[in-house]
């Protein structure tokens, strides 16, 4: 069999395997990105208090998406369509800087994702305990946490397409009460209240951490790229739709609540939107918002766990992790990866919200700086890489696009406490040790690995074009220091 026939056979085999699994389309992908980034306005209340009034909060959710969310979404659209594999950003980093840094990126992002996911079952019960005080007691709280984590994990196991359409329903249910609240607030709006700010009482660390946390994780969806229908067209549309949805989900409730009420801004803290709903619409709206908050936490959990599990699957498929992590259930889901992520959630759920928030932001900032560097590196070193979607900027424009968000990342890191620096440093050190440990296990054949070249995006039925990209793909192969001879033989 000639090389051209072998390539064609590989493409047909992969297509046949993928076609047997349901794929994500635009609407479910928008919902998953929405929940990976936002999940609704729950948690943005702190930005009003930390910002010393409504003005900085409203300006933040208008300006931060332009200097942070939009650039990150554009970069994600280009790189996710160039490398439509489940490894996502792991493959981008490895393609630009080699497998060692690709593994570190994957470890940081997975660890921070599991920590983030540990919040949602806890927050779910925190909303319920206002109506059911029994959940204040450990005897009821611990079994409930285990039950919620187990049931949501099972939903992930049943299939990504089910998770996607569940996210659509949950997003509609979670956002609709704020649409109603916005309409009811119109007669009571006083625009001058939006301009209130007390710079002497601004908590800059809390403000920037709140803004950053509520507007990050746009790149998470890239770990599902291998499960997306026609990613070259679906990803850009879904990311654009998600940016608009996230901005509206923050601004409409904030404009309604701060403009219609005269309550002191110092009362704005986590969960305050339920009180805003009561003051604007009555008890029925408060109940609705509390239920929406609980459902939103379920959607956040599902989206985060899907991204974390498929990231491990992608890393296993390219040889960075043992092959057991790439095993799929009959539903097409990575069983071992889901179980490991769920175990991490259970063991990390004891940490406080603020501890997790600052710690997550720091690790995420380190990873994003590496992603921006990879984006520029690939533009310079691989200008001919097939990019189904390309950010319409040259090399200089790409650098300028990354500059404002990079400055924001450095600022967030500089505002971290010494404790966050120490814990993050310990996690990074574990990643440095874990990589050579896995390499040693591979050489000794203690566990089974398999290396598969990450497929750069190619036009349909373009065997000739795939041959042209073969050299680039081989260079980007990110197996766990797999022997080059084995890669060429494969």
pLDDT recorded at residue 179: 93
Residues 445-469: pLDDT tens digits?
Answer: 888 886 554 444 444 443 333 443 4
Nearest in space to 355 (alpha carbons), one of 19, 112, 110, 163: 112
Residue scoring higher pLDDT (174 or 476)? 174
Based on C-alpha coordinates, what's the Rg of the chain? 23
From CA 342, how far away is CA 346, in angstroms rounded? Answer: 6
pLDDT in tens, 296-339: 877 778 778 888 888 888 888 888 888 888 778 777 777 888 88
Check residues 11 and 362 and name the one with the higher pLDDT.
Answer: 362
DSSP letter at 158?
T
Mean pLDDT, range 246-257, rounded to an integer:
93
CB within 8 Å of 89: residues ≥ 6 apart: 79, 105, 106, 109, 219, 222, 223, 367, 371, 374
pLDDT above 60 for 400: yes
pLDDT at 261 over 50: yes
pTM score > 0.85 for this model? no
What is the mean predicted confidence (pLDDT) over 231-235? 82
Q: Which domains does the chain possess?
A: 23-489 (1.20.1740.10)
pLDDT at 401: 93
Between 178 and 454, the more confident residue is 178
Instruction: Write out the two tokens for 193.
Output: 């209240």
Residue 149 has pLDDT above 90, yes or no: no
Please tell me which residue, 208 or 7, carries the higher pLDDT value.
208
Q: What is the pLDDT of residue 186?
A: 94
pLDDT value, residue 22: 67
Task: Name the least confident of 56-65, 196-205, 277-286, 334-343.
Answer: 334-343
Top-ranked range on mean pLDDT: pick from 3-7, 138-142, 428-432? 428-432
Which residues, listed in sequence order, are joined to residue 228 by a DSSP beta bridge? 24
**Mean pLDDT, residues 212-221 taken together:** 83
What is the predicted pLDDT for the residue at 250?
93
CA distance 170 to 299: 6
Q: At residue 286, does pLDDT exceed 60?
A: yes
pLDDT of residue 3: 44
């Amino acid at each position: 069999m000639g090389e051209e026939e072998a390539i064609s056979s590989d493409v047909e085999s992969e297509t046949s395997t993928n076609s047997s699994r349901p794929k994500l389309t635009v609407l479910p992908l928008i919902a998953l990105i929405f929940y990976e980034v936002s999940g609704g306005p729950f948690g943005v209340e702190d930005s009003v208090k930390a910002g010393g009034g409504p003005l900085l909060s409203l300006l933040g959710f208008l300006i931060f998406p332009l200097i942070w969310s939009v650039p990150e979404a554009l970069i994600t659209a280009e790189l996710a369509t160039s490398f439509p594999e489940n490894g996502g950003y792991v493959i981008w980093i490895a393609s630009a800087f080699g497998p060692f840094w690709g593994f570190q990126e994957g470890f940081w992002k997975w660890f921070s994702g599991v920590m983030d996911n540990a919040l949602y079952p806890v927050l779910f019960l925190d909303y319920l305990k206002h109506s059911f005080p029994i959940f204040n007691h450990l005897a009821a709280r611990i079994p409930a946490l285990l039950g919620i984590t187990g049931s949501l994990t099972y939903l992930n196991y049943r299939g990504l397409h089910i998770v996607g359409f569940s996210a659509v329903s949950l997003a509609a249910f979670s956002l609709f009460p704020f649409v109603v609240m916005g309409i009811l607030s119109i007669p009571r709006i006083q625009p001058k209240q939006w301009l209130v700010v007390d710079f002497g009482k601004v908590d800059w660390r809390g403000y920037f951490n709140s803004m950053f946390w509520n507007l990050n994780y746009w790149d998470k969806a890239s770990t599902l790229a291998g499960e997306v229908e026609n990613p070259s067209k679906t990803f850009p549309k879904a990311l654009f739709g998600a940016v608009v949805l996230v901005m509206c989900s923050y601004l409409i409730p904030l404009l309604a609540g701060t403009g219609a009420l005269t309550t002191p801004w110092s009362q704005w803290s986590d969960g305050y939107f339920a009180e805003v709903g009561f003051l604007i619409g009555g008890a029925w709206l408060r109940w609705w918002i509390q239920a929406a908050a609980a459902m939103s936490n379920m959607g956040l959990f599902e989206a985060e766990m899907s991204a974390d599990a498929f990231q491990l699957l992608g890393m296993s498929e390219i040889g960075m992790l043992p092959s057991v992590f790439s095993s799929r259930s009959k539903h097409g889901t990575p069983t071992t990866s889901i179980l490991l992520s769920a175990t991490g959630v259970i063991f990390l759920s004891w940490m406080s919200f603020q501890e997790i928030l600052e710690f997550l932001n720091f690790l995420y900032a380190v990873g994003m700086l590496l992603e921006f560097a990879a984006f520029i590196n690939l533009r310079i070193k691989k200008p001919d890489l097939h990019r189904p979607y390309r950010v319409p900027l040259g090399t200089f424009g790409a650098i300028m696009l990354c500059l404002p968000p990079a400055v924001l990342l450095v600022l967030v890191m500089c505002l971290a406490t010494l404790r966050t620096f120490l814990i993050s440093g310990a996690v990074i050190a574990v990643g440095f040790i874990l990589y050579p440990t896995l390499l040693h296990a591979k050489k000794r054949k203690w566990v089974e690995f398999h290396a598969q070249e990450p497929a750069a995006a190619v036009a349909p039925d373009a065997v000739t074009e795939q041959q042209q990209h073969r050299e680039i793909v081989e260079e980007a192969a990110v197996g766990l220091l797999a022997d080059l001879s084995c890669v060429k033989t494969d």
